[in-house]
Amino acid sequence: MQGRVVAEYGFLVAWIIVAILVVILARGSPYSVAFFTFGAVIAASLLIAWAAEASEFSISRGLALAVVAIVQTIPEYFVEGTIAWKAGQDLTGFWTSNVIANFTGANRLLTGFGWPLILFTLVIQKKRNGQSGPSTIALRREQSVEMVFLLVSSLYYVWILIEGALTILDSAILGGAFVAYMWILARLPAGKDEPKEVLGATSLALAEIKSPRRKLALIAALFLFSGLTFVLITDAFVESIRGLAETFLVGFLGSGAVFFSIQWIVPVLSEFPEKVTAFNWARQITLAPVALLNFVSSSVNELTALVALIPIVFTVSRGALVPVPVAGHSVEILLTMAQSLYACATLLDLEYDVGNATVLFVLWGVSTALVETRLPVAVIFLILAALEVVRTRKRITVFSAFRQTVNEGLRHKLSKDLQ
């Protein structure tokens, strides 16, 4: 590894170690804990992202990005699991009322900010390069798998809204959908991109290690170290968010200060590496579809596996098979679902354009800045999604592409097994 790359890894590891020591030795100092744990979340997320990206070149592109998406959202799993555990232990209902904050914020940040970021970056880079032509991102036919699962998982939240709760049955259905998603992706052919075309210097340094055993050992060590980091700091991290919100934001946001803080602080920090990676891919223009697909995979992951975790942890913590009530935040779930459905509608023809990106970004910005607009914005998203379906009805290819991809994937797997 080059000296600069080693220095970057060393700095992140050192920061994490200091953060762990602060959590253990200075837990009573809330500002120090917040400062170091916030940085540690970013540092551990970067280490995880680099290790995951370095390991993605021996499997299908869709599966690789799905695996990367899972690993990159590990911080959100720890945070969601921690809050669900606290909710199960807390009979006052405080943490139960905040249990859906993380996943709704994370998903809306991805589709409302992340997706437009990619296209806007592509447009700016093309202008800098003096390139002409339409500024759209076209996904390949096999990438319809991600879109179909994102659409189906988004529609499932109609049932959750009707129930007004998250149950173990929801965990089974959403978890099963995620398993089916990964099963299909695992049967697609391996990607053909070279590591140098996709990876940054930090992850490329891992991917280019010649000894497979040493490479595997380093990647595994980064995963384990980062995972241990989240085990040790997540509770302090969540409590520091609560403390800062109650100290500085209650006067502005009232009783919703903690919910709002968890909803946005956690995803902004944990998804930072993912945004940086996607930004760098989009700057290369030809890799913009990879960047978008990475965010789509993360959205599927969050709407299925991440939410499936909540009732399981809550039930174990409570020691009883009790549903997690979410009716008090039905508008948040409705807005998350509506924004996701509009995002799906924009890619029914597997093409994403500037108009779609602008609508997503503007409405996401309005609903984030002005909490009272969230219900009307959700309705607008649903109306626009329906109009998008009507507008592109003669060009909808995602379902036929999905059937063809699945059939070809199964044939590919069968022929491979027979060899």
137: part of which helix (H) or strand (E)? strand 137-138
Residue 190's SS3 state is coil
For 156, counting Cβ atoms within 10 Å of its Cβ (0-12 exposed, 13-18 middle, 19+ buried), the class is middle
Q: What is the maximum alpha-carbon separation in the chain?
A: 67
Instruction: Name residues whose C-beta falls within 8 Å of residue 115's C-beta, 6 or more positions apart in sequence.
Output: 292, 295, 343, 352, 357, 360
Residue 352's SS3 state is strand
Structural domains in the chain plus CATH codes: 3-418 (1.20.1420.30)
pLDDT at 129 (0 to 100): 85
pLDDT at 121 (0 to 100): 92
Q: Tens of pLDDT along the chain (419 residues)?
A: 578 899 999 999 999 999 999 999 988 788 999 999 999 999 998 898 888 777 765 455 556 666 666 776 788 899 999 999 999 998 888 999 999 999 999 999 999 999 999 999 999 998 888 887 678 999 989 889 999 999 999 999 999 999 999 999 999 999 999 999 998 888 876 555 544 556 677 888 888 888 888 888 898 899 899 989 999 999 999 999 999 999 998 888 888 899 999 999 988 988 887 777 788 878 888 888 888 988 999 899 999 999 999 999 999 999 999 999 999 999 999 999 999 999 999 999 999 999 999 999 999 999 999 999 999 999 999 999 999 999 999 999 999 999 999 888 766 655 555 45
For 369, counting Cβ atoms within 10 Å of its Cβ (0-12 exposed, 13-18 middle, 19+ buried), the class is exposed
List of long-range contacts for 23-30, beta carbons under 8 Å, 24+ apart: 23/232, 23/233, 23/236, 24/232, 27/236, 30/240, 30/243, 30/244
C-alpha triplet 18, 22, 23: angle, nearest 5°: 120
pLDDT at 274 (0 to 100): 74
- Cα within 13 Å of Cα(227), Cβ side: 10
Cross-strand bridge partners of residue 166: 324
pLDDT at 194 (0 to 100): 47
Do residues 340 and 152 touch, judged by C-beta distance below 8 A? no
**In whole angstroms, what is the distance from residue 303 CA to residue 103 CA?**
8
Q: Which residues of 17-39 are buried (b: 16+ CB within 10 A; e: fewer)?
A: eebbebbeeeeeebebbbebbbb
DSSP 8-class letter at 325:
E
Cross-strand bridge partners of residue 137: 352
How long is the chain?
A: 419
**CA torsion through residues 233, 238, 244, 246, sign:** negative
Do residues 336 and 108 touch, judged by C-beta distance below 8 A? yes
pLDDT at 341 (0 to 100): 98
DSSP 8-class letter at 387:
H
Cross-strand bridge partners of residue 352: 137
